[in-house]
Amino acid sequence: MLASLPAVLRIPLVCVLLLASTVLHVVPLFALTAVRLLIPLPFVRRLCSAALVGIAESWLAVNSGMFGAFTRTHWTVEGIEGLQPTENFLVVCNHQSWVDIPTLQKVFNRRIPFMRFFLKSELIWVPLLGPAWWALDFPFMKRHSRQQLEARPELRGKDREATRRACEKFRQVPVAIMNFTEGTRFTQAKHDAQKSPYRHLLRPKAGGVAFVIDAMGDAIRDILDVTIVYPDGPSTTMDMIAGRIREVRIHARRLPIPAQMRGDYDADPAFRERFQTWINQLWTEKDARIAAMLAK
């Protein structure tokens, strides 16, 4: 019934409800964060962190429920059977649009541990959301251009240090670390500029995946390889709110991380070549999977 409302009513109503849901969840989230900061006892911090994740999962569930009520998007999901929210995962996924994030949250919320993304440092200034991501221990990374690194070589490796600090924190709780392995959203212009050997994907950036696996150690044993397809083409968040996305197809598969894929990516050239070959093979399989999912 709600999905049949005229767009002129449905779109502003969804936007208002999303804002209300955000405020209602963020206020207690900030209050608990203040308690965690003011009472730095380990057991208090653990209790607060668990409660913060519970609030965040409720927030995602409410938002996903609204998308389900106000849109007619058809969801085809494969491969999520048997996943547990107590197991750690490194989630790798292709990246097409901003819709990828709410899509992943809808499909995997409470099926796996709460997902953390590596975010650009500028996003901490997004009203409400930026401080909320900080409170939920999302790692913020400051990206440096090649010119900046050449001018200030001491900046090289700062992101790696931030990644290692975040991973050390994640080792204490169930976590799913999300990695968009292409490093940026797919466009045909980027694909052509890279001369990507894949039809539907940009070249994967293996270093980030290798570093998370090394930093997490035995705390992460499995990769959750996720493929997202929009049969009508990549869309925007407003397309989702407006109900213009007719179908989303998601495929997931759980892969154990081989022992030979753990090592020092920067210092060991043989390991780096071996790891890149492994990731490239995963991407070749993903490219073929996207073609098959589109063909359906």
Tokens found for residue 72: 């007619």
Could you tell me if residue 104 is inside a domain? yes
Nearest to 103 by CA among 278, 240, 197, 285: 240
Could you tell me if residue 164 is inside a domain? yes
pLDDT given at position 154 = 63
pLDDT given at position 194 = 94
Neighbours of 163 (CB within 10 A): 20
pTM of the shown model: 0.90
pLDDT given at position 178 = 93
Tell me the CB-side half-sphere exposure of residue 156, using CA atoms within 13 A: 9
- The DSSP H or E segment spanning 32 is helix 7-38
Tokens found for residue 169: 């924190």
- The DSSP H or E segment spanning 21 is helix 7-38
**Alpha-carbon gap, residue 98 to 119, rounded angstroms:** 13
**Alpha-carbon gap, residue 32 to 54, rounded angstroms:** 12
Could you tell me if residue 20 is inside a domain? no
- What number of residues does the chain have? 296
Strands, E assignment, the chain: 74-78, 89-93, 115-117, 119-120, 140-141, 176-180, 222-229, 247-256
Could you tell me if residue 267 is inside a domain? yes
**Alpha-carbon gap, residue 272 to 274, rounded angstroms:** 5
Q: What is the 3-state secondary structure (H, E, C) of 143-199?
A: CCCHHHHHHCHHHCCHHHHHHHHHHHHHCCCCCEEEEECCCCCCCHHHHHHHCCCCC
**Alpha-carbon gap, residue 152 to 156, rounded angstroms:** 8
Could you tell me if residue 4 is inside a domain? no
Domain that holds residue 265: 73-295
Residue type, 32: L
Could you tell me if residue 198 is inside a domain? yes
Helices (H) and strands (E) in the chain, counts: 10, 8
Task: Divide the 296 residues of the chain into consecutive groups of 10 and give the mean pLDDT of each group.
Answer: 81 92 95 92 89 96 92 93 93 94 94 90 87 88 64 65 75 87 93 96 93 87 96 87 90 95 90 96 97 92
Could you tell me if residue 55 is inside a domain? no
**Alpha-carbon gap, residue 137 to 118, rounded angstroms:** 10
CB 114 within 8 A of CB 53: yes
Domain count within the chain: 1
Could you tell me if residue 186 is inside a domain? yes
CB 243 within 8 A of CB 71: yes
162-169: list long-range contacts, CB under 8 Å, 24+ apart.
163/118, 163/139, 163/208, 163/211, 163/212, 163/215, 164/211, 164/215, 165/139, 166/116, 166/118, 166/137, 166/139, 167/212, 167/215, 167/216, 168/215, 169/137
pLDDT given at position 29 = 95
Instruction: Tell me the CATH number at 186.
Output: 3.40.1130
Q: Is 40 helix (H, G, I), strand (E, B) or coil?
A: coil
